[in-house]
Amino acid sequence: MLFSEKYAPKKLSAVAGNKETVSRMRQWALQFSLGKKQKPLLLFGPQGSGKSAAAQALSSELGLQITQILPPQKEEVSRWERRTAELFAGSALFASSALAIADDVDTWHLSKVRGIGAKLAALIKDCRIPLILTAKDRYDRRLSPFRAYCEPLQFKAINDADISSALSEISGKEGMGYDTNSIKQIAFSCKGDLRAAINDLQARNFSSSRDSEKKQFEIVKLCFRSPTYKSTKGLSLGSLAERGTLKLYVCENTPAELSNKEDLSRALSRLSRADIFDGRIMRRQYWGFLRYSSDLLIWGVSSERRHPKAGFVSYGFPTYIAKMGASKSMRAAYKHAAKKISPLTHTTTKTARSYIPLIRMQAAVEGGAKFLMDFYKFGEDELSGILGISPDSLKNGKTGKKPTTKKKKEA
């Protein structure tokens, strides 16, 4: 079980940081209990600042039943509108003891239902039950329909001292044996994101030597050759510095470890599913999916090794990382050049990068390099970086391949 769920606050007093905001939430809820209608709350702030945790703690403290409001599928819009309207009007079953929560309303535009955010805003106008919405930025233009009907409450990033205190408490209850410096290191690196800090604490269990004393290739080997599901649980949350790196290692070496085509197909399918769950975590910011992703990534791949390969298997470094490292300087040159091209072409830097092949063609024409340096204010190092040649070659007039034109065949 994730520590962020296991140690989620059950009372508002246990919520880390943002004491004034939490106090206002309690007053808001008490006014509702006295029969005084209140505006819905719009909790805004960076991820991991405690918005959802505070809402859940409020429901637990006052004995309210959480009703999660989620964007509907295309075919269910009418039904969703009817049920949501009934809930907000207080006529739905158990509405009198309900606390409605709509998380991340600033991301609802990603739903396949066009205008779903505006539909929700229209419904909350006459809401008679406690309703809490969460978002990252109060001034996001997508929240403009909600601002008139909601009371905004800001959640600030949690300071390092509060994060360290929460981590120390969890570490003590779990018997992890963290020292103060390790706790402070995690708190500092998470930049005010308590949820990330708790996940990092669980991933970096220093009291166990399972990860800290093993090299990366040894961990990859355990991912492929773990004998039982139980033996993989220790690796499920933080085998490498980043989960993405572990996925790249596993993806790179799965064909070397699994020679049987059917085993390979099933293992890559499991790895693909793990990546899908990681994508859902990033989109929805729901870290509960981590349990599925980790099991699919490690035991899912290992369990498909039904035809063991005899002998020693040499593991390789991920090709993707190697290629990205080799092209780092060129990508940096492209990025810097795009910043100079963008204002002159009246485009974004992203669009400007797509013009670089044209820049390379222009440079290959006689006198083109000098024109580009004068027009775009490129330095010799910048233009040579774009062309993939040395500054000396540029000085000598070697600017790459000359553009060629194909002659039409005579009929």
Same fold across 3-154 and 209-320:
no
Q: Picking from 48-57, 188-197, 389-398, 402-411, which range would have the lowest pLDDT averaged per residue?
A: 402-411
Select, from the ranges 261-270, 281-290, 330-339, the one with the highest average predicted confidence (pLDDT).
261-270
pLDDT tens digits for range 69-79: 888 887 888 88
Task: Decide if pLDDT at 240 tops 50.
Answer: no
Distance from chain centroid for Cα 110? 15
Alpha-carbon distance of 110 to 116, in angstroms, equals 10
Kindly list the domain boundaries of the chain, sorted by start residue: 3-154, 159-207, 209-320, 327-395
> Looking at residue 346, what is its pLDDT?
92
> Looking at residue 214, what is its pLDDT?
47
Residues near 267 by beta carbon (within 8 Å), at least 6 away in sequence: 254, 258, 300, 301, 304, 305
Q: How many helices (H) and strands (E) does the chain have?
A: 21, 5
What's the mean pLDDT when you consider all of the chain?
A: 79
> Looking at residue 231, what is its pLDDT?
67
How far CA 165 is from CA of 14, 15, 104, 162, 170, in Å, comes to 12, 12, 27, 5, 9
Residues near 179 by beta carbon (within 8 Å), at least 6 away in sequence: none
> Between these two residues, 372 and 310, which has the higher pLDDT value?
372
Q: Residue 8: name the closest of 64, 70, 55, 67 by CA.
A: 55
Per-residue b/e over 68-105, b at no fewer than 16 CB within 10 Å? ebebbeeeebeebbeebeebbeeebeebeebbbbbbbb
> Looking at residue 269, what is its pLDDT?
92
pLDDT tens digits for range 178-233: 778 878 888 887 878 888 888 777 766 444 333 433 456 667 777 787 777 776 66
> Looking at residue 72, what is its pLDDT?
82
DSSP lists the bridge partners of residue 43 as 134, 153
> Between these two residues, 400 and 58, which has the higher pLDDT value?
58
The alpha helices in 232-260, defined as continuous H runs, are 243-257
Mean pLDDT of 276-286: 82
Q: pTM here?
A: 0.51
> Looking at residue 236, what is its pLDDT?
46
Rounded to 5 degrees, what are φ and ψ at 157? -60, 140
Kindly indicate the confidence band of residue 30, based on its pLDDT and cuts at 50, 70 and 90.
confident
CATH class of the domain comprising 209-320: mainly alpha
Residue 380's H or E segment, with its range, is helix 380-387
DSSP lists the bridge partners of residue 67 as 100
**In this structure, what DSSP letter does residue 75 have?**
G
Q: Picking from 252-261, 349-358, 402-411, which range would have the lowest pLDDT averaged per residue?
A: 402-411
Task: Decide if pLDDT at 241 tops 50.
Answer: no
pLDDT tens digits for range 100-147: 888 888 888 777 778 888 888 888 888 888 889 998 888 888 888 888
Q: Which fold has domain 3-154?
A: Rossmann fold (3.40.50)
Task: Decide if pLDDT at 64 tops 80.
Answer: yes
